[in-house]
Structure 1
Amino acid sequence: MAKISPPPPFPAVSTCPSDNRESHTVVADLDGTLLCGRSSFPYFALVAFEAGGVLRLLLLVLLSPLAAALYHFVSEPAGIRVLIFASVAGVRISTVEAVARAVLPKFYLSDLHPESWRVFSSCGRRWVLTANPRIMVEAFLKEYLGAEMVVGTELADFRGRATGMVRRPGVLVGEKKAAALKSALGSGSPPEIGLGDRRSDFPFMNLCKEAYVVLPDPEVKAVSRERLPKPVVFHDGRLVQKPTPLLALLIVLWFPFAFFLACLRAAAAALLPIKHQIRVHRLLGVRISVKGAAPWRPAGKPGVLFVCSHRTLLDPLIVSLALRRHVATVTYSLSRLSELLSPIKNVRLARDRGKDAATIKSLLEEGDVAVCPEGTTCREPFLLRFSALFAELTDEIVPVALESRTSLFHGTTARGWKGMDPFFFCMNPSPAYEVTFLSKLPPELTCGGGGGRASHEVANCVQRMIAESLGYECTSFTRKDKYMALAGNDGSVPKKTRSKLAS
């Protein structure tokens, strides 16, 4: 006869009223409570990969069975200590902070529990007690969920690097959570609401006037994108999906084959005639689809300026493949590796408006040019502010809507080495690009040609055309906005790290 589990000593969170709670304090656990998922492994895996690379992720995968055995059969703190050691031992604390701000919020928000968030968001004061390292969760909880106080496990460090150990009182589980709450309360009155999901949360929940348990439900759906408390516009990191233990294992096993495949795809782009490359790349698993008709450059005429939305560093190359002819491109930040391997002409700009305009004009005299005037990439369905420089240079302007899709690795980064961006895109099993050539800008909408439009009006017009084609939203965000958002502009990230991200 099957053993019947006793019912929890607290009512379900779905029964908790959320009206008129503005003056109340709520204290909640994180994994399994505010988040649908009860396991913190995916977030440790993200930190391990982003801060330490694939070998660090391999170590975490190898030690995860030990962590699970200790967690379930010995104690929760023992299992969590193994995950912490495998993920951050030897890593700079500033690097963990940067990952926590730029990478983790996207994944945390995609797992927000609807009932817990309903109650948590209704209260005026929001506190979180978690066994996770505070440094991993604090930026997300305060910036996106409006938490006033976050108490978690504190990492031990030596000369700015995590040792893999934790500071006293240790991993925040069970009675230690209750002790932390008592310390935070001091002589104040107890919180009105306590939210938890497992037996080790009961001690701190007993200190609250009301307590509700979040029952395990594999069918529960996270809060939809439209109902999120704050949208994630900018985020970083290489991994596309939340790395469950199985997916993390697959990433580790795929990585060496993926790098070889990326080199093969790069060799094909550099060595084969451009008119045959779409077919060859399709055989190698890269899907490139083309929509719309691009204008042909008549002999003796200046080139066409293809103005593209910015997805990856490969954008100009993909436009060349779609046109079946070489086009030049310009960039502000061209790595030596990209310059060496690029099969198309790639010219570095000087960040001087007059010099840059002259450079692009000379390239247009030689042939077609593809530019990405957003200046930087955004992974969410938003277009950043376009530069108006290109609009002053020619009236032969063709907007190009680019969309890329990957399954394992993002082909863009703000924190990592930009020269590896094309390789990470090509390391996906079957990456895809969709190229849509829109109608050429009519003369009346250009700066010259009888239109007499201001350059910023032309830029805004092109941006709207591309956004409508992709179903994206236009924003006024700039490159500086992106890097400040990822680095943190409130002083919570060390100055050295902010300078590295903004460079």
Structure 2
Amino acid sequence: MVEPFLKNYLGVDLVLGTEISSWRGVATGFVGGAGVLVGEEKAMALRKAFESSSVPEIGIGDSEADFPFMNLCKERYIVPSDQRVRPVKQDELPKPMIFHDGRLVQKPSPMMALLIIVWFPIGVLLCVSRVLIGSNSPISLFYYIMQLTGCKILVKGTPPPNAKNSGRTGVAFVCSHKTVMDPLFVSAVLGHNTTCVSYSTSRITEFLSPIRNCRLTRERSKDAKIIKDILEEGWDLVMCPEGTTCREPYLLRFSSLFAELTDEIVPVAINVRTSMFHGSTARGRKWLDIFFFFMNPLPVYEITFLDKLSPDQTCSAGKSSFDVANNVQEMIGAALKFECTKFTRKDKYRMLAGTDGLVWQKPGVVAADKLS
């Protein structure tokens, strides 16, 4: 838990500490064989790490138990135990924190932990009710059902009419990606069924979804045909070209595939606000995402429909698909006041899970992605 954060965001080169034992990725409550590093054990670990070739420049401790290892350092500082420590703000970190995992939204202080424990059984009943009622209701009623059950949906902008009833090809609604339910909430606001495409949605999520879902294969030619067929059938298509969710105010790089297949493109800026649980995960069980999201007392979905791309902003005007995708990313970023990045889905999963994000992969296994 500590080492990745210190190395990635504080520029630390080496971390020495107690290893927490785990079983299949779940903490057991026991510590590793090295024991707890306190007092003289810290000094022994430090001597072993530096092998007397050099010594640390600075040693910082907060009690007399830290004196043994601090005596090995050139400079020593004691932090008073009664001194209040201010959390480091994100803009003060050496590099921005874009990727992180875990279900809790807020720091589990004693009071917050108590509130979560007290709320948990209520939240389970609430989320099961929301899921069962929402998944078995017509999409035209989903918007009102969510509002009645405390899940607020804020809508800005005006979407185009349903392509299915107008005899034209479908519209591609290109969205920022916050949870697995983005296509569902977009469909609810549109008031009609759409089709969404995904790479690794769980079977449970697909079963509960009241809208049509098509799985992509990560083979570019096959995926292009799937998307093109959906649009030519007149279905409006909701897609998230980031390929994965991002919790912080950043947008990952957009895949350019959608720009190659249609000029009917409507950018959609999506953001969510939750108070207790994140509705996304990289290392946990993805089928629980919808349940954790709906366990929040009053979650908020913000959906902003931007203007449809004009012909001169699409590939039909001679623009490359990469330029179109980057332009859509910038439009959504400006609407949300998010920063655009060049990070991809693989960057996120390699950092958080040690994989490329493929559902069949085990941690530590990195494979080449078939999509260029």
| Higher alpha-carbon Rg | 1
Which of residues 430, 454, 457 in structure 1 aligns to 2:323? 457
Matched, 1:311 2:178: yes
Which of residues 397, 406, 413 in structure 1 aligns to 2:265? 397
Aligned equivalent of 2:363: 497
Letter in 1 for 2:258: F
Aligned equivalent of 2:211: 344
Letter in 1 for 2:336: L
Letter in 2 for 1:401: A
Q: Which moved more, 1:156-165 or 1:137-146?
A: 156-165
Confirm or deny: 8 A CA contact 1:487 1:502 kept in the other structure.
no
Aligned equivalent of 1:244: 109
Letter in 2 for 1:352: E
Q: Deviations over 1:350-388 (max 9, x none)?
A: 333333223222322232111111111111221111111
Aligned equivalent of 2:58: 193
Which of residues 292, 300, 320 in structure 2 aligns to 1:424? 292
C-alpha distance 146-463 of structure 1, shift in aligned 2 (>3 A)? closer
Q: For the residues of structure 1 that align with 2:217 and 2:309, how far apart are their CA atoms?
A: 27
Which of residues 146, 152, 173 in structure 2 aligns to 1:281? 146
C-alpha distance 500-265 of structure 1, shift in aligned 2 (>3 A)? farther
Aligned equivalent of 2:358: none
Letter in 1 for 2:178: R
Q: For the residues of structure 2 that align with 1:235 and 1:302, how far apart are their CA atoms?
A: 39
Kindly report which structure 2 residues correspond to 1:145-184, keeping only aligned pairs within 5 A, or say none: 145-154=10-19, 164-167=30-33, 170-184=35-49
Aligned equivalent of 1:119: none
Confirm or deny: 8 A CA contact 2:20 2:31 kept in the other structure.
yes
Aligned equivalent of 2:235: 367
Identity among equivalent pairs (%) = 56
Matched, 1:471 2:337: yes
Q: Deviations over 1:107-154 (max 9, x none)?
A: xxxxxxxxxxxxxxxxxxxxxxxxxxxxxx333333433334433235
Which of residues 245, 257, 261 in structure 1 aligns to 2:122? 257
C-alpha distance 246-502 of structure 1, shift in aligned 2 (>3 A)? farther
Confirm or deny: 8 A CA contact 2:143 2:185 kept in the other structure.
no
Task: Classify the secondary structure of the residue corresponding to 2:17.
Answer: strand
Letter in 1 for 2:237: V
C-alpha distance 197-363 of structure 1, shift in aligned 2 (>3 A)? same
Q: For the residues of structure 2 that align with 1:154 and 1:393, how far apart are their CA atoms?
A: 50
Aligned equivalent of 2:303: 435
**5+ unaligned residues in a row in structure 1: which ranges?**
1-99, 101-136, 490-494
C-alpha distance 276-502 of structure 1, shift in aligned 2 (>3 A)? farther
Q: For the residues of structure 1 that align with 2:352 and 2:32, how far apart are their CA atoms?
A: 27
Matched, 1:415 2:283: yes
Confirm or deny: 8 A CA contact 1:399 1:437 kept in the other structure.
yes
Confirm or deny: 8 A CA contact 2:10 2:93 kept in the other structure.
no
Letter in 1 for 2:171: V
C-alpha distance 270-201 of structure 1, shift in aligned 2 (>3 A)? same
Under a length normalisation based on structure 1, what TM-score does the superposition of the two structures give? 0.65
Q: Deviations over 1:81-128 (max 9, x none)?
A: xxxxxxxxxxxxxxxxxxx2xxxxxxxxxxxxxxxxxxxxxxxxxxxx
Confirm or deny: 8 A CA contact 2:256 2:322 kept in the other structure.
yes
Confirm or deny: 8 A CA contact 1:392 1:455 kept in the other structure.
yes
Q: For the residues of structure 2 that align with 1:306 and 1:185, how far apart are their CA atoms?
A: 56
Q: For the residues of structure 2 that align with 1:186 and 1:215, how far apart are their CA atoms?
A: 30
C-alpha distance 245-369 of structure 1, shift in aligned 2 (>3 A)? same
Size of the aligned set, in residue pairs, is 360
Confirm or deny: 8 A CA contact 1:414 1:501 kept in the other structure.
no
Confirm or deny: 8 A CA contact 1:155 1:167 kept in the other structure.
no
- Identify, as 1 or 2, the structure richer in helix: 1
The structural deviation recorded for 1:441 is 0.2
C-alpha distance 185-347 of structure 1, shift in aligned 2 (>3 A)? closer
Q: For the residues of structure 1 that align with 2:33 and 2:92, how far apart are their CA atoms?
A: 37
Q: For the residues of structure 2 that align with 1:426 and 1:341, how far apart are their CA atoms?
A: 14
Matched, 1:205 2:73: no
The structural deviation recorded for 1:455 is 1.4
Q: Deviations over 1:1-24 (max 9, x none)?
A: xxxxxxxxxxxxxxxxxxxxxxxx
Aligned equivalent of 1:53: none
The structural deviation recorded for 1:179 is 4.2
C-alpha distance 435-218 of structure 1, shift in aligned 2 (>3 A)? farther
Q: For the residues of structure 1 that align with 2:303 and 2:273, how far apart are their CA atoms?
A: 12
Under a length normalisation based on structure 2, what TM-score does the superposition of the two structures give? 0.86
Confirm or deny: 8 A CA contact 1:292 1:438 kept in the other structure.
yes
**5+ unaligned residues in a row in structure 2: which ranges?**
356-360
Matched, 1:224 2:89: yes
The structural deviation recorded for 1:186 is 5.3
Aligned equivalent of 1:266: 131
Task: Classify the secondary structure of the residue corresponding to 1:422.
Answer: helix
Q: Which moved more, 1:338-347 or 1:225-234?
A: 225-234
Confirm or deny: 8 A CA contact 1:487 1:501 kept in the other structure.
no
Q: For the residues of structure 2 that align with 1:447 and 1:260, how far apart are their CA atoms?
A: 48
Confirm or deny: 8 A CA contact 2:354 2:366 kept in the other structure.
no
C-alpha distance 276-291 of structure 1, shift in aligned 2 (>3 A)? same
C-alpha distance 200-233 of structure 1, shift in aligned 2 (>3 A)? same
